[in-house]
Chain A
Amino acid sequence: MATRALTKGLLGLRHVRGPTVKVSNSGRQFATASSIISPEPQTCSVRDKMLDLPLEKQDLFRVSELFTVKDLFDARVHLGHKKGCRHRLMEPYLYDSSLDYDIIDLDKTAEDLRRALDKTAHTAYGGGIILFISRRRQFCHLVENTAKQCGEYAHTRYWQGGLFTNAHIQYGPGVRLPDLVVFLSTLNNVFQQHVAIRDARKMNIPTVGVVDSNCNPSLITYPVPGNDDTPVAMELYCRLFKTVINRAKNKRKQMELLHSLSEPSEPSS
Chain B
Amino acid sequence: MAANCARVVCSLFGKSVNFASSTRPVTLQFCRQICGTPALRRKNLGPTVPETFTAEFIQKQVEEFEIGKRHLANMMGEDPENFTQEDIDRSIAYLFPSGLFEKRARPLMKHPVEIFPKQRAVQWGPDGRPFHFLFYTGKQAYYSLMHDLYGRVLKVEKHQDQLRAKGLFPTEPKQIALGPSRWLTKEEMEALLVEPISRQDYEHFIQLMERLLAMPCCSLEQQFVMSHRQQLEAQSMHQVVPPLQKDDAGVDFSTAEGRRKSSRGSVVVRDCGAGRLTVNGQDHLHYFPVLQDREQLMFPLQFCGLLGRFDLDCSVSGGGRSSQAGALRLAISRALLSFLSQSEGEAMRQAGLLTPDPRVRERKKPGQEGARRKFTWKKR
| Chain B neighbourhood of A6, CB < 8 A | 16, 18
Q: Quote the shortest CB–CB distance from A8 to chain B (angstroms).
A: 7
**Proximity bits, B16-28, A CB within 8 Å = 1, else 0:** 1111110000000
Number of A-B residue pairs at CB separation under 8 A:
80
| Chain B neighbourhood of A144, CB < 8 A | 133-134, 147
Report if B179 contacts A (CB, 8 A): no
> Which of B5-13, B272-280, B335-343, B368-376 interfaces with chain A?
B5-13
Report if A70 contacts B (CB, 8 A): no
Do A169 and B46 touch across chains, with their CB atoms under 8 A apart? yes
Interface positions of A from 130 to 165, Cβ below 8 Å from B: 131, 141, 144, 147-148, 151-155, 157, 160, 163
Report if B202 contacts A (CB, 8 A): no
Report if A39 contacts B (CB, 8 A): no
Q: Quote the shortest CB–CB distance from A210 to chain B (angstroms).
A: 19
Question: Of B4, B45, B122, B143, which is in contact with the most chain A CB atoms at under 10 Å from its CB?
Answer: B143
Contact of B21 among A28, A151, A153, A173 (CB under 8 A): A28
Do B138 and A152 touch across chains, with their CB atoms under 8 A apart? no
| Chain B neighbourhood of A171, CB < 8 A | 123, 135-136, 138
Question: Of B7, B19, B46, B138, which is in contact with the most chain A CB atoms at under 10 Å from its CB?
Answer: B138
Q: Determine the residue in chain A with the shortest Cβ distance to B200.
A: A158
Report if B287 contacts A (CB, 8 A): no
Interface positions of B from 111 to 148, Cβ below 8 Å from A: 122-124, 127-130, 133-139, 143, 147
Report if B318 contacts A (CB, 8 A): no
Do B138 and A170 touch across chains, with their CB atoms under 8 A apart? yes
Give CA–CA (A6, B150) in the complex, Å: 41
Give CA–CA (A8, B46) in the complex, Å: 27
Size class of the A contact interface (CB-based, 8 Å)? 35 or more
Do B130 and A2 touch across chains, with their CB atoms under 8 A apart? no
| Chain A neighbourhood of B135, CB < 8 A | 153, 171
| Chain A neighbourhood of B20, CB < 8 A | 2, 20
Q: Quote the shortest CB–CB distance from B96 to chain A (angstroms).
A: 39
Given the known A-B contacts A157-B143, A169-B46, are A141 and B18 also in contact in the complex, defined by CB atoms under 8 Å?
no
**Proximity bits, B143-175, A CB within 8 Å = 1, else 0:** 100010011001000000000000000000000
Do B154 and A9 touch across chains, with their CB atoms under 8 A apart? no
Q: Quote the shortest CB–CB distance from B120 to chain A (angstroms).
A: 10
Do B124 and A155 touch across chains, with their CB atoms under 8 A apart? no
Do B128 and A176 touch across chains, with their CB atoms under 8 A apart? yes
Report if B366 contacts A (CB, 8 A): no
Do B138 and A141 touch across chains, with their CB atoms under 8 A apart? no
Interface positions of A from 167 to 209, Cβ below 8 Å from B: 168-176, 178, 202-204
Report if B39 contacts A (CB, 8 A): no
Report if B367 contacts A (CB, 8 A): no
Give CA–CA (A5, B10) in the complex, Å: 8
Report if B14 contacts A (CB, 8 A): yes
| Number of residues of chain B lying within 8 A (CB) of chain A | 35
Do B134 and A154 touch across chains, with their CB atoms under 8 A apart? yes
| Chain A neighbourhood of B137, CB < 8 A | 155, 157
Q: Quote the shortest CB–CB distance from A70 to chain B (angstroms).
A: 30
Do A8 and B16 touch across chains, with their CB atoms under 8 A apart? yes
Do B45 and A169 touch across chains, with their CB atoms under 8 A apart? yes
Give CA–CA (A190, B52) in the complex, Å: 38
Give CA–CA (A163, B46) in the complex, Å: 13
Interface positions of A from 56 to 84, Cβ below 8 Å from B: none
Do B130 and A166 touch across chains, with their CB atoms under 8 A apart? no
Q: Quote the shortest CB–CB distance from A253 to chain B (angstroms).
A: 15
Give CA–CA (A141, B138) in the complex, Å: 18
Do B16 and A9 touch across chains, with their CB atoms under 8 A apart? yes
Do B128 and A2 touch across chains, with their CB atoms under 8 A apart? no
Do A131 and B150 touch across chains, with their CB atoms under 8 A apart? no
Contact of A2 among B7, B45, B150 (CB under 8 A): B7
List 9 tightest A-B contacts by C-beta distance, closest first.
A176-B128, A5-B16, A9-B16, A6-B16, A148-B133, A155-B136, A155-B137, A2-B18, A157-B137
**16 extra interchain contacts, Cβ-Cβ under 8 A, other than A2-B7, A169-B45?**
A1-B7, A2-B17, A2-B20, A5-B10, A8-B16, A20-B18, A129-B128, A131-B136, A141-B147, A151-B133, A153-B134, A154-B136, A160-B138, A171-B123, A173-B4, A202-B14
Chain B interface (Cβ within 8 Å of chain A)?
3-4, 6-8, 10-11, 14, 16-21, 45-46, 122-124, 127-130, 133-139, 143, 147, 150-151, 154
